[in-house]
Structures are given as C-alpha cells and as structure tokens.
Structure 1
Amino acid sequence: MKSILIALLFAASAVSAQSPSGRTCHEAVPCPLGERSYHVKEPDGWDGVTPLPVLFHFHGWARQGSLIVNHDRISGATRRRNVLLVAPNGLNESWSFRRAGSPDTTFAREVIDDVKARYPVRADQIFVSGYSWGANMAWRFACEDANGIAALLAIAGTLDQDEECTTAPAEVRQVYGLNDQVLPFPMGPNGDQNYPVQIWRNAYKCGAGEALGPWQQVSFLTLERTVWETCATGRVTLDLHPGGHFIPHGWIARQLDELLGLEPSYP
C-alpha cells in the first residue's frame, strides 16, 4: 500500500511540473542547461504547435527567473500576446556585464538555442529585454551577440556610451526615469537627455530624432517619446518619464503590441 501511495504521489508531481503543452519545465520548474537553468512561461491558450515570438528577459540584481515568469508587468504582457517568455537565471542572482567577453553572453545564446530545440519559435521575432542590472546585461548581449535579435527592450539600465559594440539588434527601445536613484539617469553633455541611446544612434548612423510627444498606458504616468528613424540601418526609440527605478506599467505590453503589429491595449 505504501509503495502504491508513493507511486501516485510521484505521478502527481510529474503532472504538476508539466506545462499546458505537456513540457516538463515551465514557470517555477526550471529548464536545466548544463550546470545552469532558465524559466519559461507559455502564453495563454497556446495550441502547442504554432510558432511563438519570444521575449528573453534578464532579471534584476538579487532576483531569479522564477520571479520574472510571475511578474505581472512582464509575464502579464507576454501571456496575453501569444509570446513565449524566457527568463534565464544569473549566477549568484547577478550578471557579468561590465566587460566585453561576458560568459553570460555565451550562456544567453545557449539558452536561446535550447529554447529553439524545445519550442517552435518565430526566429524573426526574438526580443531581448531586461530591467535594471538585467537591462545592463541585455545591452551587453546586444553589444556582443545580437545575431537574429529583432529588438532590444531595455528598462532602467544601459552600458557606458563609450563602449565599442561589435553587433547590434535590428531595433532598440529604451525607457528610463529621469529621477532614477538606483541607476541614475545617464545624462549626456550639456544636459543631453538623448544620451542613453548614443551607442545605437551611432551604430545605426542615425540622423536627427523626432519628438513624438507624451503617451500613457496608465493615467498616473506620462512618458515622452523620441524616435530615430532616419538611419542607415535600424531604429531607435527612447521613452523618458519623471519617475524613478521601476518597470513602467504597460511599457513592455506596448512595445510588444507595436513590434507585433497588434492593436495597443492594456494590460
């Protein structure tokens, strides 16, 4: 009787670890990759076979991917837009982004390759994102290995603008709070508020930016958008807000709507 009970418990455990599509690593159950791991969250109502866009998101300092796949401003956006969310786990809950040749760049590429082996993926719709420390790492990845990356979506973090990047994604979208006290806003010379995306404006050989004015996803936060579209290659978008160090409500959702050609919605 005891052996039967153990078998039943084991079977129940295995089922609970499966995703809606039947895959055994999902949400809180990490996907192992060598000595490291990452988390995934499938979109609502996915049929298990239709190829999916991917949002690959680097977590902030002292966090892990298990938080990201349950974060309403991140996974709340992806699961409603038929996007697969991928959240790697940093060693010691951090990322190695300060210098070129980061081992986390190699790890991130390995995760993307592993996801492609596990899931049907839209190879032309892989978006790399990150918040805070994770935004710094997302920049590092885009700077070193942007092959096949459709867009960089960076939140409250950058790299030094004198970095020499060897690669660039097809598009860059950055958001930053002017009153950020954790990773202070990287103001440029003579108060240049467009400085946080200087690397990419130079890489794409962009002309003058166009101020598109204010926009909102929620009534209590207004963002000001500037875009650079007259570029030899690529496109750059910079959203600024008067607040501090946080993921703006609905920002990821709006970027995905625009990138995927969907009607803008919230959440």
Structure 2
Amino acid sequence: MIYRLLALFLMSASVAYAMGPWRDDCHGDTACQVGDRSYHVLEPDGWDGETPLPVLMHFHGWARQGTVVVNHERIAGATKLRGVLLVAPNGLGKSWDFWTSDTGDVPFADAVLEDVAKRYPIDPDRIYVSGYSYGGAMAWRYVCQSGNDTAALLGIAGSIRQTEDCPQAPAEVRHVHGTSDTVMDFPLGPGGDTTYPVALWRQKFGCDTATPRGDWSVVPILTLSRVEWTDCTQGRVALDTHPGGHFIPHGWVGRQLDELLGREPTYP
C-alpha cells in the first residue's frame, strides 16, 4: 500500500505543482468524493504548494462527520501549525464499523489515502492515523487490518479489544485515555492494571518494561501522566492517562505531532 501511495505521488507531482488540483474541487468543508463515499482535507498554514506533506488521517467520533474534524481547534488547530495535511474520512451513518475485522471501513480508508496521494504531494514515511471515541477505535482497527505501513497510531479515548490478533501494526503507538471516562470506559486490566489500554500493542511489539516519564500538561486544568515502552523487539508504545472523562485533551494531538516530527513541543 505505502509503495502505491509513493508511486501515485511521483506520477502526479508535476501535474499537482502546475495546476494545483487541491484547490479545484474539494477542500475544508467541501468534501472530496471517493466512489459513493467522501472525506475532507485541510492543508497546513503557509504551505508552499510543493513540499511533500506529512499526513494525519483522523476518524471522527460517533454522530459526527469530517467537517467537525477540519474545524476542530484541538485537531485542525494542531495540524495547521505543524505543516501536516489533515484528512478526515466520513463514516457511514456518522459512525464506524470497527467491531470486527470484517469491515468495509478499512478498505475505504485505504482508498481515501490513495485519493489524497493523487491530489497532494505527501510524505509516505510520515502517515499518522488518529481518531477520537468511536473514531479512536476505528483508528486502532485501521492500523490493525490495513496493509498501509503507517508511521504512528494516535488513539484518543477509544480502542478495539486488547485480545484482538492484529496482522498489521504501525511503527509506533501513542494512546490517551481518561480514567474517569464513562462513555468508552477506561479499560483497566487484571488487578487494576492501568497500563492495560495498550496491552495489545505491548504484546505484539514484544515490550517488557514500563518506564514512567512523569506528569506533563499544556493547560493548568489538566495533568497527564505518561508511561512508555522502549525496550520492545519492534516499535514503541506510549500511554498518557488523565483523571478526566471522555474528551480530546488540550494540546495532546499537537504534542504528539511535535515529538513525531522532531519539533520542540509547543502549544497550541
């Protein structure tokens, strides 16, 4: 999958630079069509129209659509300032089918990324997948099932079962969940294990030792605590927890993108 995306970029780059097709038919609130389905896309501020872009594909929450994502301060506000192309697929019935591996939403998301690569010069080594709530679970399902070699999963307050057998995996996993979440409950493990929300990836990556990284925050009203696994036989895993409920923490998406892109973390 990732090599097809790169090939599409190389073939379409000269046309894209000359004609700017990203401006012609869909952008922001105006959806791009992929067959009988659609998605939204938002460019970063100050983009020169030529430099290959990292991509954040974000799956919206239940009863929402991609228009919410491309206008969301805590998502689009982060990508616009960091040179990242934001891609927001639209779920059927404003929801996602992430419950089992037998889902049409994974090939749909693959088709979205292929279409994005026809419209924009993208960096195939920096494709990040995110989502919130039901969209967080869909992001987990996507990186579990898709053949796309995604660089990182950024999961927010939603996941699939930790007992799933995933044939694929991203290069890196970052997840955040509130311990008081009552919408998609914080998944405590045996004996009250608070690291259980990433048990699936810890097992798949062969991670052993949890390393506390301490508390951090970007706004005074919320403190997050981070645990990382960096001794894995492949990949790495990070888990941020906070005492709150079901929401996207201020600055969380931006912080993850800064770290993944090798930038000094800033807010917003």
Same fold (TM over 0.5): yes
Partner residue, 1:3: none
8 Å contact kept, 1:21–1:48: no
Q: Give the CA deviation at 1:42.
A: 0.3
Aligned length: 249
Amino acid at match of 2:54: P
8 Å contact kept, 1:153–1:173: yes
Partner residue, 2:166: 165
Q: Give the CA deviation at 1:21.
A: 5.9
Partner residue, 1:29: 30
8 Å contact kept, 1:21–1:47: no
Counterpart secondary structure, 1:134:
helix
Partners of 1:177 and 1:101 lie apart in 2 by 29
Partner residue, 2:15: none
Where does the alignment leave 5 or more consecutive residues of structure 2 unmatched? 1-19
Q: Report 1:39-50 matches (<5 A).
A: 39-50=40-51
Relative contact order (C-alpha < 8 Å, sep 6+): which is higher? 2
8 Å contact kept, 1:146–1:169: no
Q: Give the CA deviation at 1:145.
A: 1.1
TM-score normalised by structure 1 residue count:
0.92
Q: Give the CA deviation at 1:217.
A: 1.2
Partner residue, 1:234: 235
TM-score normalised by structure 2 residue count:
0.91
Amino acid at match of 1:209: A
Q: Which has the larger radius of gyration?
A: 1
Q: Deviations over 1:179-225 (max 9, x none)?
A: 00111100000000000100000100012110011011111110000
Distance 1:255 1:20, change over 3 A: farther
Amino acid at match of 2:76: S
**Structure 1 segments of 4 or more deviating over 3 A?**
none
Amino acid at match of 2:167: T
Q: Report 1:242-257 matches (<5 A).
A: 242-257=243-258
Identity of aligned residues (%): 58
Query: 249-258 vs 157-166, which deviates more?
Result: 157-166
8 Å contact kept, 1:135–1:154: yes
Where does the alignment leave 5 or more consecutive residues of structure 1 unmatched? 1-18
8 Å contact kept, 1:210–1:227: yes
Partners of 2:134 and 2:96 lie apart in 1 by 7
Q: Give the CA deviation at 1:101.
A: 2.4
Partner residue, 1:185: 186
Q: Deviations over 1:29-60 (max 9, x none)?
A: 00011000000000001111110000000000
Q: Report 1:1-267 matches (<5 A).
A: 22-145=23-146, 147-267=148-268
Distance 1:164 1:100, change over 3 A: same
Structural RMSD (CA): 1.2
